[in-house]
A = this chain, B = another copy of it.
Amino acid sequence: MAAKTNPIPSVWARQQPAPDQPALSRAAIVREAIAMLDAEGIEALSMRKLGARLNAGATSLYRHVATKDELMELAVDEVAAEIVVPSPDFARADPEADSPDWRAAATEAARSFRATALRHPWLSSVLGQAGLAYLGPNLMSFSERLAALFTAAGFPEPSRAIDTVLSYVIGMSTTEAAWLTTVARSGETEAAFIARLMPAAQQAAAGHDHLTDAYAEPPAADPAEIRETKFAYGLEVVLDGLSLRLPR
C-alpha cells in the first residue's frame, strides 16, 4: 500500500525550520501579544489570533505559557520595564541643598507611569482585575526604585508615601486610559468624540445645577493638553501633602 488516504508526507511539504520567522519562544510570544494588545485592544487578543500572527497553531503557545492569564501577567511585567524611576542621586546633583529635589524625581516617575499606562491602555483593565499581586522581576525593581527614592527623600514611612502617590497616579491613569479606549473605539478624534457626546451629557446633567454649568460649553483647548495639566495639578497636590510629612 504505497498510497494511503492520509495526506502524502512529501519531502517538499517538510516545513523548513522557519528561516526568517522568529522561533516560537516565551519571549517572542509575549512580545507579539503586547503588539496585538496595543494595536487592537484587550478584547481582540485571543490565543488563536496570537498563534496565527506567529505562524503557529493556537495550542502550540501552551508549550511556553501555562495559561492566558499567565501570559497577561508576563505582558504586564514586560511593559513595567518601561516605567523609569530616577535614581536617588538628586542629593549629589546639588550638594549644598540639604533639601534635595525629590519632588522632581517623584514627578518624573509619575509622568513615566502615566505615559506607559497611556501607551498600553489594556494595562488598566488588567490592573483592575489583578491588582499588584504580580511578582515579576520588572515590577519588583520598580517597587525597589520607588522605595529607594522615597527613603532617600527622608520619609520616615516611605511605603505610606509610595502608596499614596501611586494610588493617585493609578487612579488618574486608569481613568484616562479607559476614556482613551472608549474614544479609540469610536474611530473619531478625541475632540470630535467629545463634541458628539456633549448633547447626551448636557441632557443627563439636566436638573443638576453645578453639572449644567460644567457642561455649558465644549472645552476650548486641546483635550490631550487638558488631561496633562489636570494630571500635573493633582500630582502637585499630592506632593504638597506629602512634603508636610517630611521631618523639619
Q: A144-B209, A172-B171, A209-B144 are in contact. Are A181 and B129 (CB under 8 A)?
A: yes
Q: Is A130 in contact with chain B by the CB < 8 A criterion? A: yes
CB contacts (< 8 Å) of A200 on chain B: these are 135
Residue of B nearest to A159 (CB): B214
Number of copies: 2
Asked if A26 is an interface residue, CB under 8 A from chain B, the answer is no
Whether B208 pairs with A141 at a CB distance below 8 angstroms is: yes
> How far apart are the CA atoms of A42 and B179 in the complex, in Å?
21
A197 to nearest B CB, angstroms?
Answer: 8
Which of B124, B144, B168, B182 is in CB contact (< 8 Å) with A128?
Answer: B124
Question: What would 17 A/B residue contacts be, using CB atoms closer than 8 Å?
Answer: A42-B129, A131-B176, A131-B177, A132-B178, A137-B204, A140-B205, A143-B208, A143-B211, A144-B208, A163-B234, A164-B237, A168-B168, A170-B171, A171-B172, A171-B174, A237-B238, A237-B242
- The reply on A82 being an interface residue by CB < 8 A is no
**Is the beta-carbon distance between B240 and A132 smaller than 8 angstroms?**
no
Knowing A151-B210, A230-B160, A240-B240 are in contact, say whether A140-B181 is a contact too (CB < 8 A). no
Is the CB of A67 closer than 8 A to any CB of chain B?
A: no
Q: Mark A185-199, 1 if CB is under 8 A from B, else 0.
A: 000000000000100
Extra 14 A-B pairs, beta carbons < 8 Å, given A140-B204, A170-B171, A174-B174: A125-B125, A127-B174, A127-B178, A129-B178, A136-B204, A140-B208, A141-B208, A143-B208, A143-B211, A144-B210, A163-B233, A166-B171, A236-B241, A237-B242
Contact call B147/A211, Cβ cutoff below 8 A? yes
- Could you tell me which residues of chain A, from 212 to 248, have a CB within 8 Å of some CB in chain B? 214, 230, 233-234, 236-242, 244-245
A110 smallest CB distance to B (angstroms) = 11
Interface size on A, residues (CB 8 A): 64
A189 to chain B, nearest CB (A): 16
